[in-house]
Amino acid sequence: RIAHEGIKARAIDLKGYDIPPEMKKAVSEEDIEAAHVAKAQGSIEMKMLDRIDVFLWMSEKEVAALAFPTLKGGFDYLGFTSKDESTLKWCRELFLHYWDRAEPKTEFSLF
């Protein structure tokens, strides 16, 4: 969808992160192909870090998921969602905090 709707996306990956199998199963081949097309068209910009202390998915209108680490080192993935403007502002600032410290990711892989 990203490539077809003109949406721009930014993502920060954890170096060496392997996506859990249950998340891989939830993504269709069509979505994977669309993401590769979007990357080639410049609609997706990716960076990476050695360590990220949050799991965050958001748009300009909604925080889709915000989750924090568990004591065992993974993420709870229960997190929360919000459309509240102060939450959106806080999450934007949090994302930019990590974005500014991340290095460009030259190898593209999603799933």
Determine the Cα–Cα distance for residues 44 and 24; give it in Å rounded to an integer.
19
First to last CA, the chain: 16
**DSSP letter at 81?**
E
pLDDT score at 100: 96
Between 19 and 90, where is the model more confident? 90
Closest CA to 46 of 102, 105, 94: 105
Query: What pLDDT digit, counting tens, does each position of 14-49 carry?
Result: 888 777 788 778 888 888 888 788 888 888 888 999
Q: Exposed, middle or buried: residue 89 (CB in 10 Å: 0-12, 13-18, 19+)?
A: exposed
Q: Residue 65: beta bridge partners?
A: 57
pLDDT score at 45: 87
Q: Exposed, middle or buried: residue 33 (CB in 10 Å: 0-12, 13-18, 19+)?
A: exposed
pLDDT above 60 for 111: no
